[in-house]
Structure 1
Amino acid sequence: MMIRRAGRDDVPAVLALLDGATEWLVARGRIDQWGTAPHSTSPRRVEQITGFADDHGLWVAQTNDRVVGALAVGAAMEYVPPATEPELYVRLLVTDRASAGQNIGGTLLDHARGLAREDGVHLLRVDCFAGGDGALVRYYERQGFTRDVAFAVPRINEPDWPGQVLAQRL
């Protein structure tokens, strides 16, 4: 597997990964995290992923010229409490569900750790969906993160989206 900086040309492949992850969640009745609509049809999501690429914080994992994972790093998302020290924030982590079990997410998180160390930063944070059975929070804990602060994102005509910020000292 090779990890490389992604550009605008990679945005459709990243959106396809997000669409695949949503399909996987929907098939398991887990619609609270991302809903049911494809990310590739959301102008807001397309703009967000394109912005990650334009900011040079988007990375992709490839095997045999196929994108199997994506990582975006940069400043913390606006909906989470700010850090009290310099940090690198994982803004997106998604992997190809057909490649599950190959540690693509772990490898991308290792890449993020390396980027933080290169910048002399000793804090890596990420946030994730904290609802459902808590599986995603437990995934990040297995990756060496600890729970920091819980938060909720208000939504119109829907329950608040429950989130969890997790942190890792480097």
Structure 2
Amino acid sequence: MTDERRITVRPGRPGDAPAVLRLFDSAIAWLAERDRTGQWGVNPASTDPRRIEQADAYATGGGLWFAETDGTEVGALAVGAATEYVPPATEPELYVNLLVTDRAYAGLGIGARLLAHGADLARERGLGLLRVDCYRSPDRALVRFYEGCGFTATDPFTVERPGRTPWPGQVLARRLD
């Protein structure tokens, strides 16, 4: 359930990369505590040059949004073009490149609120399709979360990572018309 009274959404700004990294670090720690390391590993994003570069790109790219409660960033959404490792859409779309929330605020509907904002952005641009990809764990927990937010699983895929375990992913789509 989304607690609309407590959650506001604001656009990201060029100086917001540290907030994105803090949210990543919080999520990675939460996942690691539960032995769910397949999605993002165990090392803090704030120490990973690739993640730092990614957070900087989100903060300066114009597609970053934050969910806040009581002035604290509790979730981040980045939208833009689809990543190169997923099958291309057959029509114009808006793509969710990042959705991360602070698990200390679980139960407030932060992820659902940010995804609803992403759908609003797509509609404002005249687009009828919002897509996202996520980690496809054996229990499909994250896939089920997105399905609960109105998405339909479409294309499974695997990202081959030299010297590391392949990363199983799932593309999901939400029709907006």
TM-score using structure 1 length: 0.97
CA distance in 2, matches of 1:138, 1:129: 11
Superposed, which structure 2 residues align to 1:27-42 within 5 Å?
27-42=33-48
Q: Residues 42-57 of structure 1 correspond to what in structure 2 (within 5 A)?
A: 42-57=48-63
Taking the aligned partners of 1:3 and 1:113, their CA distance within structure 2 comes to 13
Residue by residue, what CA displacement relative to the aligned partner does 1:4-43 show, whole Å, maximum 9, x if unpaired? Answer: 1111221111111111100011000111111110011111
Give the conservation status (yes or no) of the 8 Å contact 1:128–1:164. yes
Query: Could you tell me which of 130, 135, 146 is aligned with 1:140?
Result: 146
Selected match of 1:163 from 142, 154, 169: 169
Q: Structure 1 residue 106: deviation in Å?
A: 0.5
Is 1:70 equivalent to 2:76 in the alignment?
A: yes
Q: Is the 8 A contact 1:30 1:132 kept in 2?
A: no
Unaligned runs of at least 5 residues, structure 1 = none
Percent identical residues = 58
- CA shift at 1:132, angstroms? 3.4
1:16–1:40 CA contact under 8 A, matched in 2:
yes
Q: Does the aligned pair in 2 maintain the 1:61–1:68 contact within 8 Å? A: yes
Consecutive unaligned residues in structure 2, runs of 5 or more: 1-6
Q: Match for 1:133: what amino acid?
A: D
Say whether the 8 Å CA contact 2:119–2:130 is kept in structure 1.
yes
Structure 1 distance, partners of 2:22, 2:105, is: 14
Q: Any idea what the Cα deviations from partners look like across 1:109-132, whole Å, max 9, x if unmatched?
A: 010000000000000000000023
Tell me, in whole angstroms, the C-alpha distance in 1 between the residues paired with 2:107 and 2:97: 22
Q: 1:14-163 maps to which residues of 2 (within 5 A)?
A: 14-163=20-169
Question: Comparing 103-112 with 131-140, which one deviates more in the overlay?
Answer: 131-140
Q: Give the equivalent residue in structure 2 for 1:4.
A: 10
Tell me how far apart the structure 1 counterparts of residues 72 and 138 of structure 2 sit (CA, whole Å): 31
Tell me the TM-score normalized by structure 2. 0.94
> Hey, what's the Cα distance between the residues in 2 that align with 1:74 and 1:169?
17
CA contact (8 A) 2:17 2:58 kept: no
Amino acid corresponding to residue 96 of structure 2 in structure 1: V
**Matches of 1:132 and 1:50 in 2, distance apart?**
32
How many residues align? The count is 170
Distance in 1 between the 2:131 and 2:173 partners?
4
Question: Is the Cα contact below 8 Å between 1:32 and 1:132 reproduced in 2?
Answer: no
Task: Give the 3-state SS of the residue equivalent to 1:49 in structure 2.
Answer: helix
1:71–1:108 contact (8 Å) kept in structure 2: yes
Contact preservation (8 Å) 1:11, 1:53: yes
